[in-house]
Amino acid sequence: MTEPAGPATETVDSYGMTAERAFADLWSRETLTFRERRLILIGLLVGQGLDDQVTLQLDAALRTGDLDETELREIVVFLTHYAGWARGTRLNNQVEDLAERVRRDRSDRRNPTG
Protein backbone atom coordinates (compact mmCIF):
# COMPACT_ATOMS: atom_id res chain seq x y z
CA MET A 1 0.00 0.00 0.00
CA THR A 2 1.41 3.39 -0.97
CA GLU A 3 0.76 6.53 0.96
CA PRO A 4 -0.64 9.58 -0.80
CA ALA A 5 1.85 12.27 -1.75
CA GLY A 6 1.49 15.52 0.06
CA PRO A 7 2.72 17.56 2.99
CA ALA A 8 2.50 14.65 5.42
CA THR A 9 4.96 12.58 3.36
CA GLU A 10 7.42 15.32 2.36
CA THR A 11 11.00 14.87 3.49
CA VAL A 12 12.09 17.33 6.14
CA ASP A 13 15.64 18.59 5.86
CA SER A 14 16.30 18.60 9.59
CA TYR A 15 20.06 19.04 9.07
CA GLY A 16 19.45 22.06 6.83
CA MET A 17 17.04 23.56 9.31
CA THR A 18 19.47 22.98 12.17
CA ALA A 19 22.39 24.47 10.20
CA GLU A 20 20.32 27.47 9.18
CA ARG A 21 19.35 28.11 12.80
CA ALA A 22 22.95 27.74 13.98
CA PHE A 23 24.23 30.21 11.38
CA ALA A 24 21.42 32.64 12.19
CA ASP A 25 22.39 32.46 15.86
CA LEU A 26 26.07 33.00 15.06
CA TRP A 27 25.40 36.03 12.87
CA SER A 28 23.00 37.60 15.37
CA ARG A 29 25.40 37.66 18.32
CA GLU A 30 26.28 41.18 19.41
CA THR A 31 30.03 41.24 20.11
CA LEU A 32 31.24 41.32 16.49
CA THR A 33 29.66 43.41 13.75
CA PHE A 34 28.50 41.84 10.48
CA ARG A 35 31.47 43.56 8.82
CA GLU A 36 33.95 42.03 11.26
CA ARG A 37 32.40 38.59 10.84
CA ARG A 38 32.49 38.98 7.06
CA LEU A 39 36.20 39.93 7.14
CA ILE A 40 37.08 36.93 9.31
CA LEU A 41 35.04 34.57 7.16
CA ILE A 42 36.47 35.81 3.86
CA GLY A 43 40.01 35.37 5.20
CA LEU A 44 39.25 31.87 6.42
CA LEU A 45 37.59 30.81 3.16
CA VAL A 46 40.42 32.23 1.03
CA GLY A 47 42.98 30.49 3.22
CA GLN A 48 41.19 27.19 2.74
CA GLY A 49 40.80 27.70 -1.00
CA LEU A 50 36.98 27.49 -0.87
CA ASP A 51 36.46 29.68 -3.95
CA ASP A 52 32.72 29.10 -4.40
CA GLN A 53 32.03 30.19 -0.85
CA VAL A 54 34.42 33.13 -1.21
CA THR A 55 32.39 34.30 -4.20
CA LEU A 56 29.17 34.14 -2.17
CA GLN A 57 30.67 36.07 0.75
CA LEU A 58 32.24 38.74 -1.48
CA ASP A 59 28.89 39.25 -3.19
CA ALA A 60 27.06 39.46 0.14
CA ALA A 61 29.65 41.87 1.56
CA LEU A 62 29.42 44.23 -1.40
CA ARG A 63 25.66 44.13 -1.86
CA THR A 64 24.89 44.62 1.85
CA GLY A 65 27.40 47.44 2.18
CA ASP A 66 29.52 45.59 4.74
CA LEU A 67 32.49 46.21 2.43
CA ASP A 68 32.94 48.40 -0.63
CA GLU A 69 35.03 47.81 -3.78
CA THR A 70 38.06 49.64 -2.38
CA GLU A 71 37.99 47.56 0.80
CA LEU A 72 37.61 44.32 -1.16
CA ARG A 73 40.65 45.24 -3.24
CA GLU A 74 42.62 45.97 -0.07
CA ILE A 75 41.63 42.54 1.27
CA VAL A 76 43.13 41.07 -1.92
CA VAL A 77 46.44 42.84 -1.28
CA PHE A 78 46.51 41.78 2.36
CA LEU A 79 45.46 38.15 1.91
CA THR A 80 47.75 37.60 -1.07
CA HIS A 81 50.71 38.01 1.28
CA TYR A 82 49.32 35.50 3.76
CA ALA A 83 47.38 33.01 1.62
CA GLY A 84 49.84 32.96 -1.28
CA TRP A 85 50.01 34.42 -4.74
CA ALA A 86 47.90 31.75 -6.41
CA ARG A 87 44.99 32.25 -4.01
CA GLY A 88 45.50 35.99 -4.10
CA THR A 89 45.27 35.98 -7.88
CA ARG A 90 42.03 33.96 -7.77
CA LEU A 91 40.65 36.32 -5.13
CA ASN A 92 41.59 39.34 -7.24
CA ASN A 93 39.76 37.86 -10.23
CA GLN A 94 36.71 37.15 -8.06
CA VAL A 95 36.66 40.72 -6.71
CA GLU A 96 37.08 42.31 -10.14
CA ASP A 97 34.43 40.04 -11.72
CA LEU A 98 32.02 40.87 -8.90
CA ALA A 99 32.68 44.61 -9.12
CA GLU A 100 32.03 44.55 -12.86
CA ARG A 101 28.86 42.49 -12.44
CA VAL A 102 27.50 44.83 -9.74
CA ARG A 103 28.31 47.93 -11.83
CA ARG A 104 26.56 46.34 -14.83
CA ASP A 105 23.51 45.43 -12.69
CA ARG A 106 23.31 48.99 -11.34
CA SER A 107 23.65 50.42 -14.83
CA ASP A 108 20.91 48.11 -16.16
CA ARG A 109 18.56 49.22 -13.39
CA ARG A 110 19.19 52.89 -14.22
CA ASN A 111 18.71 52.29 -17.94
CA PRO A 112 16.07 49.54 -18.26
CA THR A 113 15.75 50.00 -22.03
CA GLY A 114 19.26 48.59 -22.46
1 within a domain of the structure (yes/no):
no
pLDDT of the chain along its 114 residues, tens only? 555 555 556 777 887 887 788 788 888 999 999 999 999 999 999 999 999 999 999 999 999 999 999 999 999 999 999 999 999 999 999 999 999 999 898 888 887 665
Per the domain annotation, does 15 fall within a domain?
Answer: no
Overall number of domains in the chain:
1
Q: Looking at the domain assignment, is residue 4 inside a domain? A: no
DSSP code at position 29: -
Domain assignment present for 5: no
Q: Is the dihedral of CA 34, 48, 59, 85 positive or negative?
A: positive
Q: Which domain holds residue 55?
A: 32-110
Does residue 8 lie within any of the structural domains?
Answer: no
- The answer to whether residue 9 sits within a structural domain is no
Within-domain flag for 57: yes
pTM of this structure: 0.77
DSSP 41-69: HHHHHHHHT-HHHHHHHHHHHHHHTSS-H
Q: Is residue 2 part of a domain?
A: no
